[in-house]
Chain A
Amino acid sequence: MTSDDKMALLAGLVAMTVDGTVFAGGSTGRRHHHFEQVARASGVDIAARWSAPIALFDKMRRAAMIDLLREECGAPSAENCATIKKKGDLAVNVSERLPATWLPLR
């Protein structure tokens, strides 16, 4: 195994241990602060690697989606979507109205 291979293996193994997760109901702490440092150091563009799918909005409350629209797209858009009765339809509309690079956690 060459040195490069070893380094690649090391990188993969270290990456497997990177932990920025938060358990349900938990709060962030020093680990997550450290994790954010690693994320910034990696220079990764989250938006380039992931975009919010409709399933994400399906998991959100109706009121939360309206609030999100009001925050991201303005009150008229939010009021317009508030008339949508079905939550699934509302999720699709929210997904379409939000910018493509929108990220839930920033």
Chain B
Amino acid sequence: MNGFPAFPEQVDGLLVEADERLPAQVSATMGYDSVSEIATRFELCQSSSHSARFNDDVVAVDKFPNHLGHIRCRKSINAAKNPAAFNERRDRDRHQIGFGEELLRLGALNRIVFGHSSYENVGVGRDPQRIPAHPSAIASFISSIEIGRWPSRFSIPKTSEILPAGRAASTSIRPFGSLWTTTFAPVWMPRCWSRSFRRVICPFPVTVRIVSFFAGVSAFTGSLLPSPTNVMSNAITCKAVLCLLSMTAPVAARAQQISRDAAARAAIHPVASAADLTAWLSRVLRTRASPPDFAETLRGQSSLYIIEMTTAPDRLPCADLWTKLGSLRARYGWQVRTELVQELAEDKLNAIADEYRAIGWHEVGATLDRPYDLYMKGSMYPATREPTEAEAEGLAEIELEIETIAEKEGEDSDRIEPLCDERDAITEGLRAFNAQQVAVGGVALWVSHDGSLGKSFYRAKAEPKAGSGDPQPLYSNSLFADLTRIKTQIVQEAVAADPALALDVLLDSLAGQLLHGAHSYQMAIEVQAKTVATDVPDELMVTSDVRPVEEDPLRVDPRRGPVRGDPRHDQR
């Protein structure tokens, strides 16, 4: 057998071995911490000497830097208390959803499948189309692949009546692509048939479970492993369903029992650091030659390959693996199913929603997409409470200190900024949803396009109608809004007739925004002014006396002469 490289160009460091008997190899995207490695082998084999094999290696890291983090190991974020943390932290909490969002952008989020069991190390897991789970059967099937008894994948059956009589079959709706799937005992026969677009295909599920431990690294490939015990950390189930055109003859296979020790010797390559990993990789044989039509062949048969990633909700996929699967999809048009992330995102959202419910919000909704009718609901903003005595004293002290520093050292003193931050922190703390708002308020949670947590607060419960004794407002909300528009029209007319006033209003707005830090929405005119950054290194300006205008807007204009307040003007 000759080894076929899955990635002739070695994209993303994915290694393919020329040696057919090489065990799992490693390619890794380095994590921040110790790196563990896991090798997964996706095999597409044929019987006899024409069998083709290509191995994809994936690496799991104990700390996933760029993908869904391990939920159980993470310190949960109290979104209600610290809503921004979901998006601010540069760790897995953010990447969990971020990863999901990436898949959302890829349009593949609706095609993920999760498994629901965990296995120590890498083993053979539950058959996605078979209930109850039968890992050993899958293992046997995989072993049968490895021993080479594989029918020609190019033989296309005319019908699906190759199902052996008497086999107990189960039918399930597949998530995408196929209309239905029939599954039956896996050992000696093809695992399942499905009718897809009037063509019978035979997907071969290869389920690989990957577990990385806190202290070490472990990996097994395609082997029979016992049920898990003491699984401590991240686990991932990757079900690679290699769809082949169904065969004219059933697959003959024998389970190849591999001991755990043998599997460990063959596939585990513990490394503790990036240097170790690099050193280990340097010993790996690389594919140096591949059939010239390899890429074209795979691309032409893209409809035959489906890769499903599955995992338990509290498990995490490896970003490296996902990158490689994405490369497969991009390079060869393979289908990669990613419902996995959807469930993870939903779990995350539900956990956050529970936190809001615990606070007592009247209505909490968590959906992957932003609710379409959110605009119809009245937004709710946090109320500003009166500062406590301590807070008031603190604010007064800060203000006094700022004034003192400004007088002594000027308003540009570096000591002022920390004080302003402290003051702003206290002021921000005064803004919060009070109990009345929570009692009638609603919270909508969703996954934003950038992967962050999107949330909106709105009034979910109508305001109680005023009692007969309560004073009624004279004007309805809409009428009040109309009246403000009428008044605005009248004032606009007056301003338009008074250019001097208009100039004053404009200057007031610009100065308020650019010089005094006011926001455009606080000004009477709807003009948003922003300072344009013109920062350049000082060494590039040593030959010029031009200085940024924002340093002194009242400085001399060299073309028009001095302006008031300019010291050079005074000297003249």
Contacts and interface: CB of A to CB of B under 8 A. Distances in A.
Interface string B478-516: 111111111110111111111111111110000000000
A1 interface: no
B79 interface: no
B249 interface: no
A11 B499 contact: yes
Contacts, number: 139
B498 A35 contact: no
A42 B488 CA distance: 12
B536 interface: no
A73 interface: no
A12 B485 CA distance: 17
A100 interface: no
B495 to A, nearest CB: 4
A92 interface: no
Contacts of A4: 499
B494 A43 contact: yes
Task: Give the interface size bracket for A toward B.
Answer: 35 or more
Interface in B277-319: none
B543 interface: no
A85 interface: no
A41 B504 contact: yes
B505 A38 contact: yes
A7 interface: yes
A104 B483 contact: yes
Given A18-B491, A46-B487, A10 B502 contact: yes
Interface string B457-491: 00000000000000011111111111111111011
Contact of A35 (B473, B480, B497, B524): B524
Most chain B CB within 10 A, of A11, A26, A34, A67, is at A11
Contacts of B482: 59
B501 A56 contact: no
B525 A23 contact: no
B527 interface: yes
Q: How big is the B interface, by class?
A: 35 or more
A interface secondary structure, majority: helix
Given A20-B491, A42-B491, A14 B505 contact: yes
B496 A21 contact: no
Given A23-B481, A39-B487, A46-B487, A34 B499 contact: no
B475 A18 contact: no
Contact of B499 (A10, A46, A67): A10
Contact of A19 (B480, B496, B499, B526): B526
A17 B488 CA distance: 10
A24 B478 contact: yes
A86 B492 CA distance: 37
B523 interface: yes
B502 A11 contact: yes
Given A10-B502, A14-B495, A19-B488, A34 B522 contact: yes
A31 interface: yes
B481 A26 contact: yes
Given A31-B523, A105-B484, A49 B493 contact: yes
Contacts of B504: 41
**Most B-side CB within 10 Å, residue of A13, A21, A39:** A21
A73 to B, nearest CB: 14
Contact of B492 (A15, A37, A64): A15
Nearest to A104: B483
B526 A64 contact: no
Contacts of B481: 21-24, 26
A46 B490 contact: yes
A21 B474 CA distance: 18
A35 B481 CA distance: 15
Contact of A10 (B492, B503, B521, B522): B503
Given A22-B481, A41-B504, A34 B474 contact: no
B378 interface: yes
Contacts of A29: 522
A3 to B, nearest CB: 10
Contact of A63 (B472, B495, B500, B523): B472
A43 B504 CA distance: 14
A97 to B, nearest CB: 15
A60 B479 contact: yes
A105 B474 CA distance: 10
B467 to A, nearest CB: 13
A98 interface: no
Given A29-B522, A41-B504, A44-B490, A15 B476 contact: no
Nearest to B488: A20
Contacts of B527: 14, 17
Interface of B: 378, 472-488, 490-506, 521-527
Interface of A: 4, 7-8, 10-26, 29-32, 34-35, 37-39, 41-44, 46, 49-50, 56, 59-61, 63-64, 67-68, 104-105
Identify the 7 closest CB pairs spanning chains A and B, nearest first.
A11-B502, A15-B496, A42-B494, A7-B499, A44-B494, A14-B502, A15-B495
Given A20-B484, A34-B524, A105-B484, 10 more contacts: A13-B502, A14-B496, A16-B492, A18-B525, A22-B481, A31-B521, A34-B522, A44-B494, A50-B490, A60-B479
